[in-house]
Amino acid sequence: MMFKQTVVSGSVAGALLMMAGSATASGFALIEQSGSGLGNAFAGGAASAEDASTIFYNPAGMSRLSGKQLVVAAHAIKPSAKFSGTSTVPLQTAGSAMGGDAGSWALVPNAYFAMEANPQMHVGLGINAPFGLQTQYDANWMGRFQAIKSKLQTINLNPSVSYQFSDAVSIGAGLNYQHITGELSNAVNYSAAAFAAGGVPLLGAIGGAGKEGISALTGSDSAWGYNFGALFNLTPQARIGVAYRSRIKYNLSGNVSFTNVPAALAAALPNQAVTLAVTMPDTFSVSGFHQLNDKWDLMADATWTGWSVLQQLNVLRTNGTSLSLTPENWKDTWRVSTGASYHYNETWTARMGLAVDQSPVSDAFRTARIPDGNRTWLSVGGQYKTSKQSALDFGYAHLFVNSATINQNLAATGAGNLVGTYSNSVDILTVQYAHGF
């Protein structure tokens, strides 16, 4: 049954893709891996190497650290995604509810530890969340047959090492062990399913129009990746960093379940196990850092993300046969940023930054689960050195997200035709504590 295939496909795919409209970097990535970097909009991420959070952005930057250092950070992220438009659903009353604000506060923590193994070599460990966040529409909204709740969480363990060849050149590399979990729910149009499978007789057997339930899925997987980078000191005041993070290939395993299934459809819509192979994109960054004078530091960054790995989603049954094939057609993106820091004195530093981040989603393929748009970052922040060994960083960023139109016609599968516009934005608050010993 085509409708059954679409329900299962949407559930499994959504467990990986639902955060695209609300994640703070384009697609469903999280760039918030450093409290010290947010105030500069993460400009110079691969070159600044101010603290042990460089393990994520460029492990070669550990060569600039001395002794041992522990860094812990927390990022409070509030995405906002508000829909305005219309929906028509076959054999259902879609209603007029717009779904409310699909975004909600989320806390993204990370921690890093780096130490000198010898004068040339450093080792470290990073713990972070490269992808994630959560969206949830009101349960009765007009687009409920396409999305209600969507949640994605990752945890990444990143042991790393750096080696300083000379005063001018350092290199670094790391392994990444990443675990992903997903949860998804959406309404199911049983009336449309019955009519598609058996026409008017089967529709009558389940009680006619207006019959619906909820589809829910949970799934998880773990996989390995790697990252490496290099840091080049051009002068004592200027340096350039380059860094690469690999693709990570998942085979998500999940279980989909249905509520309130009419007896006449029970055999066609069983609770079952499904899998989906999907690849997380690789990234390449080039960053620059320049100490202009005793007061000012300037920095810039350009990061490419290979989102074009996401061209289609092939949902498989447990016997290996294809249940559904969904086109995505994402494209590669660039994120460019610039920032500056002003040192008032030995204790206080102010930060500011600007970034422009492309979306991988084109208008033709935007969905209720992926209402992504190009975004512009404005960031401010600061640092207070509590002692010679310790520092407290804090920052705030507001992301202006371009309005995103949607015209998702899934009427043939029973999920309806959703037409309208998304008004999106993101606010981020960050605090970080670094301690050397």
Could you tell me the mean pLDDT of each successive run of 10 residues in the chain, 437 residues long? 43 38 69 94 96 98 96 95 96 95 91 96 97 88 93 93 97 97 90 94 95 90 97 97 96 90 90 87 97 97 95 79 75 97 97 96 84 94 95 97 91 92 95 96
C-alpha torsion angle, residues 153, 334, 169, 350 (rounded to 10): -80
> How far is 61 from 58, CA to CA, in rounded Å?
6
Tokens 């438009």 identify what position? 85
Closest CA to 65 of 22, 110, 123, 104: 123
* pLDDT computed for residue 24 by the predictor: 65
Closest CA to 125 of 171, 95, 161, 81: 161
C-alpha torsion angle, residues 62, 65, 71, 75 (rounded to 10): -60
> How far is 235 from 232, CA to CA, in rounded Å?
9
Phi, psi of 4, deg, nearest 5: -60, -45
Q: What single letter denotes the amino acid at residue 335?
A: R
Parse the chain into domains and list their residue ranges: 2-436
Q: What is the DSSP string of 329-357?
A: ----EEEEEEEEEEE-SSSEEEEEEEEEE
First to last CA, the chain: 63
Would you give the DSSP letter of residue 282? P
* pLDDT computed for residue 7 by the predictor: 43
What proportions of the chain, in percent to the nearest 5, are helix, strand and coil? 15, 55, 30
pTM to 2 decimal places: 0.91
Q: Kindly report the CATH number that applies to the domain delimited by 2-436.
A: 2.40.160.60
* pLDDT computed for residue 213 by the predictor: 96
* pLDDT computed for residue 192 by the predictor: 95
In order of 145, 196, 344, 415, the CA distances from 90 in angstroms are 11, 11, 64, 8
* pLDDT computed for residue 324 by the predictor: 66
* pLDDT computed for residue 372 by the predictor: 85
Residue 20, both tokens = 């695209």
